[in-house]
Chain A
Amino acid sequence: MADLQRYRKPPITEAVIDFGFSPVSENDLQRISQRFKSRYSKIEGVLKLDVNINNGVASAKASPNGFKMTAANGCDVIMFDRQHFGTIRLAPYEGWESLITDCKNNFASLEKIINRTTVNRIGVRYVNRIDVPLAMAESRPIYDFLITSFQLPPNLGGPLSEYTCAATFTLPKSDLKCRFQSAIVPSILIDHRSITLDLDVFLDANIPIKRDDFWEKLEDIRDKKNQLFESSITPLARGLFDERARDV
Protein backbone atom coordinates (compact mmCIF):
# COMPACT_ATOMS: atom_id res chain seq x y z
CA MET A 1 0.00 0.00 0.00
CA ALA A 2 1.29 3.41 -0.86
CA ASP A 3 2.25 5.64 2.02
CA LEU A 4 1.60 9.36 1.80
CA GLN A 5 4.92 10.07 3.50
CA ARG A 6 6.75 9.04 0.37
CA TYR A 7 5.56 12.16 -1.41
CA ARG A 8 7.97 15.01 -1.61
CA LYS A 9 5.28 17.65 -1.30
CA PRO A 10 2.28 15.98 0.34
CA PRO A 11 -0.89 17.90 -0.62
CA ILE A 12 -2.25 17.52 2.91
CA THR A 13 -3.45 20.79 4.34
CA GLU A 14 -4.92 19.28 7.50
CA ALA A 15 -4.52 15.86 9.09
CA VAL A 16 -6.90 15.15 11.95
CA ILE A 17 -7.31 12.29 14.40
CA ASP A 18 -10.48 12.84 16.33
CA PHE A 19 -12.49 11.23 19.07
CA GLY A 20 -16.15 11.59 19.92
CA PHE A 21 -17.35 10.86 23.45
CA SER A 22 -20.26 11.31 25.81
CA PRO A 23 -20.76 15.00 26.63
CA VAL A 24 -18.53 16.41 29.33
CA SER A 25 -19.45 19.34 31.56
CA GLU A 26 -18.54 22.98 30.88
CA ASN A 27 -16.21 22.71 33.83
CA ASP A 28 -14.43 19.76 32.22
CA LEU A 29 -14.13 21.76 29.02
CA GLN A 30 -12.27 24.46 30.92
CA ARG A 31 -10.08 21.82 32.56
CA ILE A 32 -9.15 20.45 29.15
CA SER A 33 -8.13 23.91 27.92
CA GLN A 34 -6.02 24.46 31.04
CA ARG A 35 -4.37 21.08 30.64
CA PHE A 36 -3.18 21.84 27.11
CA LYS A 37 -2.42 25.55 27.21
CA SER A 38 1.28 25.19 27.91
CA ARG A 39 1.82 23.54 24.52
CA TYR A 40 -1.07 25.00 22.54
CA SER A 41 -0.77 28.58 23.70
CA LYS A 42 -3.00 30.45 21.26
CA ILE A 43 -6.54 29.95 22.48
CA GLU A 44 -9.61 30.79 20.45
CA GLY A 45 -13.21 30.19 21.32
CA VAL A 46 -15.26 28.27 18.78
CA LEU A 47 -18.74 29.58 18.25
CA LYS A 48 -21.76 27.58 17.26
CA LEU A 49 -24.06 29.57 15.04
CA ASP A 50 -27.74 28.73 15.33
CA VAL A 51 -29.73 30.08 12.41
CA ASN A 52 -33.47 30.28 12.85
CA ILE A 53 -35.70 30.87 9.85
CA ASN A 54 -39.21 31.92 10.76
CA ASN A 55 -41.68 33.02 8.08
CA GLY A 56 -38.83 33.85 5.80
CA VAL A 57 -37.05 35.96 8.39
CA ALA A 58 -33.67 34.65 9.43
CA SER A 59 -32.04 35.29 12.76
CA ALA A 60 -28.77 33.99 14.05
CA LYS A 61 -27.39 33.44 17.49
CA ALA A 62 -23.80 32.52 18.25
CA SER A 63 -22.94 30.61 21.39
CA PRO A 64 -19.63 29.28 22.76
CA ASN A 65 -18.92 25.74 21.63
CA GLY A 66 -15.44 24.64 22.60
CA PHE A 67 -11.95 25.77 21.81
CA LYS A 68 -9.35 25.81 19.11
CA MET A 69 -5.81 25.92 20.50
CA THR A 70 -2.70 26.36 18.37
CA ALA A 71 0.94 25.71 19.20
CA ALA A 72 3.59 28.40 18.68
CA ASN A 73 4.75 26.70 15.46
CA GLY A 74 1.39 27.48 13.83
CA CYS A 75 1.11 23.87 12.62
CA ASP A 76 -0.02 21.82 15.60
CA VAL A 77 -3.58 22.40 16.70
CA ILE A 78 -6.21 20.85 18.91
CA MET A 79 -9.93 21.51 18.65
CA PHE A 80 -12.47 20.29 21.13
CA ASP A 81 -15.95 20.77 22.42
CA ARG A 82 -18.06 18.89 24.94
CA GLN A 83 -18.26 15.82 22.69
CA HIS A 84 -15.21 15.86 20.43
CA PHE A 85 -11.47 16.19 20.64
CA GLY A 86 -9.21 16.46 17.60
CA THR A 87 -5.44 16.45 17.25
CA ILE A 88 -4.59 18.31 14.07
CA ARG A 89 -1.47 18.82 12.02
CA LEU A 90 -1.47 21.53 9.40
CA ALA A 91 1.02 21.58 6.52
CA PRO A 92 3.84 20.80 6.29
CA TYR A 93 2.77 17.26 7.10
CA GLU A 94 5.50 15.38 8.90
CA GLY A 95 4.10 11.89 8.67
CA TRP A 96 1.74 9.59 10.49
CA GLU A 97 4.21 8.61 13.21
CA SER A 98 4.52 12.21 14.32
CA LEU A 99 0.76 12.75 14.25
CA ILE A 100 -0.15 9.55 16.10
CA THR A 101 2.50 10.26 18.73
CA ASP A 102 0.96 13.68 19.36
CA CYS A 103 -2.47 12.13 19.40
CA LYS A 104 -1.49 9.49 21.96
CA ASN A 105 0.14 12.10 24.18
CA ASN A 106 -2.93 14.31 23.98
CA PHE A 107 -5.25 11.40 24.62
CA ALA A 108 -3.26 10.41 27.72
CA SER A 109 -3.93 13.88 29.11
CA LEU A 110 -7.53 13.78 28.00
CA GLU A 111 -8.09 10.44 29.70
CA LYS A 112 -7.55 12.10 33.05
CA ILE A 113 -10.80 13.96 32.38
CA ILE A 114 -12.85 11.66 30.18
CA ASN A 115 -13.20 7.92 30.42
CA ARG A 116 -12.07 5.95 27.38
CA THR A 117 -15.12 3.71 27.69
CA THR A 118 -17.30 6.68 26.76
CA VAL A 119 -15.59 7.12 23.38
CA ASN A 120 -18.20 6.62 20.68
CA ARG A 121 -16.34 7.69 17.57
CA ILE A 122 -12.78 7.48 16.33
CA GLY A 123 -11.76 8.90 13.01
CA VAL A 124 -8.90 9.88 10.75
CA ARG A 125 -9.54 12.77 8.45
CA TYR A 126 -7.19 14.23 5.86
CA VAL A 127 -7.96 17.31 3.85
CA ASN A 128 -5.88 17.43 0.67
CA ARG A 129 -5.55 20.32 -1.74
CA ILE A 130 -4.18 19.57 -5.17
CA ASP A 131 -3.03 22.77 -6.84
CA VAL A 132 -3.43 22.61 -10.61
CA PRO A 133 -1.80 25.15 -12.94
CA LEU A 134 -4.55 27.19 -14.57
CA ALA A 135 -3.62 26.24 -18.13
CA MET A 136 -3.96 22.57 -17.22
CA ALA A 137 -7.15 23.07 -15.18
CA GLU A 138 -8.81 24.94 -18.03
CA SER A 139 -8.08 22.28 -20.59
CA ARG A 140 -8.86 19.06 -18.75
CA PRO A 141 -11.98 17.59 -17.15
CA ILE A 142 -12.13 16.82 -13.45
CA TYR A 143 -11.85 13.08 -14.01
CA ASP A 144 -8.37 13.57 -15.42
CA PHE A 145 -7.42 14.35 -11.82
CA LEU A 146 -9.93 12.53 -9.65
CA ILE A 147 -11.19 9.04 -10.30
CA THR A 148 -13.98 9.51 -7.81
CA SER A 149 -15.97 12.22 -9.50
CA PHE A 150 -18.67 12.33 -12.12
CA GLN A 151 -18.56 12.19 -15.89
CA LEU A 152 -20.34 14.54 -18.21
CA PRO A 153 -21.96 13.16 -21.38
CA PRO A 154 -19.49 12.67 -24.24
CA ASN A 155 -19.07 15.77 -26.42
CA LEU A 156 -21.17 17.84 -24.03
CA GLY A 157 -18.81 18.44 -21.16
CA GLY A 158 -15.42 19.97 -20.83
CA PRO A 159 -13.34 21.48 -18.07
CA LEU A 160 -15.31 22.58 -15.02
CA SER A 161 -15.05 25.86 -13.18
CA GLU A 162 -17.16 24.65 -10.28
CA TYR A 163 -17.62 21.20 -8.86
CA THR A 164 -18.72 19.83 -5.50
CA CYS A 165 -19.23 16.25 -4.45
CA ALA A 166 -20.05 14.69 -1.08
CA ALA A 167 -20.94 11.16 -0.12
CA THR A 168 -20.96 8.97 2.96
CA PHE A 169 -20.62 5.24 2.58
CA THR A 170 -19.63 2.11 4.46
CA LEU A 171 -16.39 0.52 3.35
CA PRO A 172 -16.77 -3.00 1.94
CA LYS A 173 -16.16 -5.90 4.33
CA SER A 174 -15.65 -3.40 7.13
CA ASP A 175 -17.43 -1.61 9.93
CA LEU A 176 -15.75 1.63 8.91
CA LYS A 177 -17.52 4.52 7.21
CA CYS A 178 -16.17 7.24 5.00
CA ARG A 179 -17.32 10.76 4.43
CA PHE A 180 -15.91 11.75 1.04
CA GLN A 181 -15.93 15.37 -0.09
CA SER A 182 -14.24 17.01 -3.04
CA ALA A 183 -14.59 20.31 -4.79
CA ILE A 184 -12.94 22.70 -7.19
CA VAL A 185 -12.12 25.86 -5.27
CA PRO A 186 -10.45 29.16 -6.13
CA SER A 187 -6.75 28.78 -5.54
CA ILE A 188 -4.70 30.75 -3.08
CA LEU A 189 -1.86 30.51 -5.61
CA ILE A 190 -1.35 32.72 -8.64
CA ASP A 191 -2.55 31.17 -11.92
CA HIS A 192 -3.83 27.99 -10.31
CA ARG A 193 -7.09 26.28 -9.55
CA SER A 194 -7.35 23.86 -6.65
CA ILE A 195 -9.10 20.56 -6.13
CA THR A 196 -9.85 19.58 -2.56
CA LEU A 197 -10.14 15.97 -1.53
CA ASP A 198 -11.38 15.52 2.00
CA LEU A 199 -11.47 11.96 3.33
CA ASP A 200 -12.89 11.26 6.78
CA VAL A 201 -12.76 7.57 7.67
CA PHE A 202 -14.33 6.73 10.99
CA LEU A 203 -15.83 4.13 13.27
CA ASP A 204 -18.92 5.14 15.21
CA ALA A 205 -19.97 1.87 16.82
CA ASN A 206 -18.28 -0.96 18.70
CA ILE A 207 -15.22 1.06 19.59
CA PRO A 208 -12.58 -1.31 21.02
CA ILE A 209 -12.25 -1.02 24.78
CA LYS A 210 -8.83 -2.60 25.24
CA ARG A 211 -6.07 -0.06 24.84
CA ASP A 212 -4.04 -2.02 22.26
CA ASP A 213 -7.11 -2.82 20.20
CA PHE A 214 -8.17 0.81 20.34
CA TRP A 215 -4.94 2.10 18.81
CA GLU A 216 -4.74 -0.81 16.39
CA LYS A 217 -8.17 0.12 15.07
CA LEU A 218 -6.92 3.63 14.47
CA GLU A 219 -4.04 2.22 12.41
CA ASP A 220 -6.57 0.23 10.41
CA ILE A 221 -8.60 3.39 9.80
CA ARG A 222 -5.50 5.17 8.62
CA ASP A 223 -4.67 2.33 6.20
CA LYS A 224 -8.18 2.49 4.73
CA LYS A 225 -7.92 6.25 4.38
CA ASN A 226 -4.64 5.88 2.50
CA GLN A 227 -6.11 3.25 0.19
CA LEU A 228 -9.02 5.55 -0.54
CA PHE A 229 -6.73 8.46 -1.30
CA GLU A 230 -4.51 6.47 -3.63
CA SER A 231 -7.53 5.01 -5.37
CA SER A 232 -9.14 8.41 -5.80
CA ILE A 233 -6.44 10.28 -7.69
CA THR A 234 -4.96 9.83 -11.14
CA PRO A 235 -1.24 9.71 -12.05
CA LEU A 236 -1.69 13.19 -13.51
CA ALA A 237 -2.85 14.54 -10.14
CA ARG A 238 -0.12 12.61 -8.33
CA GLY A 239 2.48 14.22 -10.57
CA LEU A 240 1.39 17.67 -9.41
CA PHE A 241 2.65 17.08 -5.89
CA ASP A 242 5.42 14.61 -6.60
CA GLU A 243 7.48 15.14 -9.70
CA ARG A 244 8.75 11.55 -9.50
CA ALA A 245 5.24 10.36 -10.28
CA ARG A 246 4.92 12.45 -13.45
CA ASP A 247 6.10 9.71 -15.75
CA VAL A 248 3.87 7.06 -14.22
Chain B
Amino acid sequence: MDDDDVHSPKSVSVSYDRHLIVGGSGGKTLVRPDNIIHAGFEERLFDVLVGLKVTAAQYSMHLTSNVRHRIFSELDRLLNAENWYEEDDFPTTEAFRDFLSWTVYSQHQCWQSLGVGNGGQMLAVWLAPRGVVTAGFRGNNKVGWTAKIDVDGVASLSADIGSLKEFDRLLGSYLD
Protein backbone atom coordinates (compact mmCIF):
# COMPACT_ATOMS: atom_id res chain seq x y z
CA MET B 1 0.00 0.00 0.00
CA ASP B 2 1.37 3.39 -0.92
CA ASP B 3 1.77 5.98 1.74
CA ASP B 4 -0.46 8.20 -0.33
CA ASP B 5 -3.31 5.79 0.24
CA VAL B 6 -3.15 6.29 3.98
CA HIS B 7 -5.10 9.23 5.20
CA SER B 8 -3.57 10.98 8.14
CA PRO B 9 -5.39 10.22 11.35
CA LYS B 10 -7.84 12.96 11.90
CA SER B 11 -8.69 13.95 15.41
CA VAL B 12 -12.40 14.48 15.83
CA SER B 13 -14.31 15.12 19.00
CA VAL B 14 -17.98 14.24 19.14
CA SER B 15 -20.54 15.84 21.40
CA TYR B 16 -22.55 13.53 23.59
CA ASP B 17 -25.58 15.71 24.09
CA ARG B 18 -24.41 19.19 24.62
CA HIS B 19 -22.50 22.00 23.18
CA LEU B 20 -20.23 22.72 26.02
CA ILE B 21 -16.77 23.41 24.78
CA VAL B 22 -13.63 24.74 26.32
CA GLY B 23 -10.66 26.15 24.48
CA GLY B 24 -11.24 25.26 20.89
CA SER B 25 -13.83 26.89 18.76
CA GLY B 26 -14.83 24.18 16.38
CA GLY B 27 -14.36 20.99 18.34
CA LYS B 28 -16.84 19.09 20.37
CA THR B 29 -16.40 16.83 23.31
CA LEU B 30 -17.50 13.38 24.32
CA VAL B 31 -18.28 13.26 28.01
CA ARG B 32 -18.74 10.17 30.11
CA PRO B 33 -19.40 9.64 33.78
CA ASP B 34 -16.15 8.80 35.52
CA ASN B 35 -17.12 5.65 37.35
CA ILE B 36 -13.63 5.19 38.66
CA ILE B 37 -13.98 8.34 40.68
CA HIS B 38 -17.68 8.00 41.52
CA ALA B 39 -18.60 4.42 42.17
CA GLY B 40 -20.90 4.55 45.19
CA PHE B 41 -24.68 4.58 45.23
CA GLU B 42 -24.92 8.04 46.80
CA GLU B 43 -22.47 9.41 44.29
CA ARG B 44 -24.45 7.96 41.39
CA LEU B 45 -27.64 9.43 42.83
CA PHE B 46 -25.93 12.79 43.18
CA ASP B 47 -24.64 12.61 39.62
CA VAL B 48 -28.14 11.86 38.29
CA LEU B 49 -29.55 14.77 40.30
CA VAL B 50 -26.94 17.20 38.97
CA GLY B 51 -27.41 15.82 35.45
CA LEU B 52 -31.14 16.58 35.61
CA LYS B 53 -30.41 20.11 36.80
CA VAL B 54 -28.03 20.58 33.89
CA THR B 55 -30.84 19.44 31.59
CA ALA B 56 -33.18 21.95 33.24
CA ALA B 57 -30.65 24.71 32.49
CA GLN B 58 -31.50 24.37 28.79
CA TYR B 59 -35.08 25.40 29.54
CA SER B 60 -34.52 27.80 32.39
CA MET B 61 -34.80 31.03 30.40
CA HIS B 62 -38.43 30.05 29.78
CA LEU B 63 -39.20 29.12 33.38
CA THR B 64 -40.01 31.58 36.12
CA SER B 65 -37.63 31.39 39.04
CA ASN B 66 -40.54 30.15 41.14
CA VAL B 67 -41.26 27.19 38.84
CA ARG B 68 -37.57 26.43 38.49
CA HIS B 69 -37.09 26.42 42.27
CA ARG B 70 -40.13 24.18 42.73
CA ILE B 71 -38.76 21.68 40.22
CA PHE B 72 -35.30 21.72 41.81
CA SER B 73 -36.79 21.39 45.27
CA GLU B 74 -38.80 18.33 44.16
CA LEU B 75 -35.71 16.81 42.53
CA ASP B 76 -33.74 17.32 45.74
CA ARG B 77 -36.53 15.64 47.69
CA LEU B 78 -36.88 12.74 45.29
CA LEU B 79 -33.25 11.96 44.52
CA ASN B 80 -32.18 11.67 48.07
CA ALA B 81 -30.28 8.71 49.46
CA GLU B 82 -32.74 8.41 52.33
CA ASN B 83 -35.73 8.09 49.97
CA TRP B 84 -34.18 6.04 47.24
CA TYR B 85 -33.73 2.31 46.88
CA GLU B 86 -30.85 1.02 44.83
CA GLU B 87 -33.20 -1.04 42.64
CA ASP B 88 -35.33 1.99 41.75
CA ASP B 89 -35.12 3.28 38.19
CA PHE B 90 -33.48 6.65 37.90
CA PRO B 91 -35.54 9.21 36.00
CA THR B 92 -34.42 9.29 32.38
CA THR B 93 -33.13 12.47 30.83
CA GLU B 94 -35.60 12.01 27.96
CA ALA B 95 -38.58 11.80 30.32
CA PHE B 96 -37.41 14.87 32.21
CA ARG B 97 -36.93 16.76 28.94
CA ASP B 98 -40.51 15.96 27.94
CA PHE B 99 -41.72 17.19 31.30
CA LEU B 100 -39.74 20.42 30.90
CA SER B 101 -40.79 21.15 27.33
CA TRP B 102 -44.39 20.48 28.30
CA THR B 103 -43.98 22.79 31.32
CA VAL B 104 -42.77 25.62 29.07
CA TYR B 105 -45.62 24.97 26.62
CA SER B 106 -48.37 24.66 29.19
CA GLN B 107 -50.02 27.17 31.44
CA HIS B 108 -50.77 24.41 33.97
CA GLN B 109 -47.67 24.48 36.11
CA CYS B 110 -49.61 24.12 39.34
CA TRP B 111 -48.73 20.45 39.92
CA GLN B 112 -48.74 19.28 43.52
CA SER B 113 -45.73 17.01 43.42
CA LEU B 114 -43.34 15.15 41.14
CA GLY B 115 -42.31 11.52 41.22
CA VAL B 116 -40.43 8.87 39.32
CA GLY B 117 -42.22 5.89 37.81
CA ASN B 118 -41.31 2.59 36.22
CA GLY B 119 -38.73 2.84 33.51
CA GLY B 120 -37.68 6.28 34.72
CA GLN B 121 -40.91 8.06 33.80
CA MET B 122 -41.30 11.53 35.26
CA LEU B 123 -44.56 11.66 37.19
CA ALA B 124 -46.60 14.73 38.10
CA VAL B 125 -49.82 15.07 40.08
CA TRP B 126 -52.46 17.83 39.86
CA LEU B 127 -55.36 18.44 42.18
CA ALA B 128 -58.40 19.36 40.08
CA PRO B 129 -61.51 21.01 41.56
CA ARG B 130 -63.27 17.63 41.48
CA GLY B 131 -60.47 15.10 41.54
CA VAL B 132 -56.89 14.16 40.80
CA VAL B 133 -54.91 13.91 37.54
CA THR B 134 -51.66 11.97 37.34
CA ALA B 135 -49.30 12.03 34.37
CA GLY B 136 -46.26 9.97 33.45
CA PHE B 137 -43.91 11.63 30.96
CA ARG B 138 -42.24 8.79 29.08
CA GLY B 139 -39.54 10.48 27.10
CA ASN B 140 -40.85 9.74 23.63
CA ASN B 141 -43.12 12.78 23.36
CA LYS B 142 -45.89 10.71 24.91
CA VAL B 143 -47.66 11.09 28.21
CA GLY B 144 -49.71 8.47 29.98
CA TRP B 145 -52.33 9.94 32.28
CA THR B 146 -55.03 8.90 34.69
CA ALA B 147 -57.87 11.06 35.94
CA LYS B 148 -60.12 10.35 38.89
CA ILE B 149 -62.88 12.93 38.74
CA ASP B 150 -66.04 13.19 40.77
CA VAL B 151 -69.14 13.54 38.54
CA ASP B 152 -72.41 14.03 40.39
CA GLY B 153 -71.05 12.21 43.40
CA VAL B 154 -69.70 9.27 41.39
CA ALA B 155 -65.98 8.79 40.92
CA SER B 156 -65.19 8.59 37.21
CA LEU B 157 -61.91 6.94 36.25
CA SER B 158 -60.18 7.39 32.92
CA ALA B 159 -56.73 6.71 31.53
CA ASP B 160 -55.05 7.23 28.18
CA ILE B 161 -51.78 7.90 26.38
CA GLY B 162 -51.26 10.83 24.07
CA SER B 163 -48.98 13.57 22.88
CA LEU B 164 -47.71 16.36 25.10
CA LYS B 165 -50.07 18.80 23.42
CA GLU B 166 -53.06 16.49 23.75
CA PHE B 167 -52.37 16.08 27.43
CA ASP B 168 -52.23 19.82 27.89
CA ARG B 169 -55.67 20.23 26.33
CA LEU B 170 -57.10 17.44 28.47
CA LEU B 171 -55.57 18.74 31.68
CA GLY B 172 -56.98 22.16 30.94
CA SER B 173 -60.47 20.70 30.71
CA TYR B 174 -60.08 19.21 34.21
CA LEU B 175 -58.41 22.17 35.85
CA ASP B 176 -60.20 25.15 34.33
Contacts and interface: CB of A to CB of B under 8 A. Distances in A.
Interface of A: 9-14, 16, 18, 20, 41-55, 62, 65, 67-68, 70-75, 77, 79-81, 83-86, 88, 90-93, 121, 125, 127, 131, 166, 168, 179, 181, 188-191, 196, 198, 200, 202, 241
A77 B26 CA distance: 20
A114 B169 CA distance: 57
B105 A191 contact: yes
Interface centre among B7, B10, B61, B164 (most CB of A within 10 A): B61
Given A41-B46, A80-B22, A86-B22, A47 B31 contact: yes
B27 to A, nearest CB: 9
B20 A14 contact: yes
A74 B57 contact: yes
Interface in B154-174: 164-165
B171 to A, nearest CB: 14
A73 B1 CA distance: 55
Leading 3 A-B pairs by shortest Cβ distance: A74-B53, A84-B23, A86-B22
Nearest to A70: B50
B32 A47 contact: yes
Nearest to B65: A92
B78 to A, nearest CB: 15
A92 B60 contact: yes
A9 B60 CA distance: 9
A21 to B, nearest CB: 10
Nearest to A78: B22
B50 A79 contact: no
Nearest to B105: A190
Contact of A44 (B34, B55, B56): B34
Contact of B12 (A11, A51, A80, A121): A51
B30 interface: yes
Nearest to B61: A9
B59 to A, nearest CB: 7
Given A42-B51, A46-B30, A190-B101, 4 more contacts: A12-B61, A50-B12, A51-B11, A190-B104
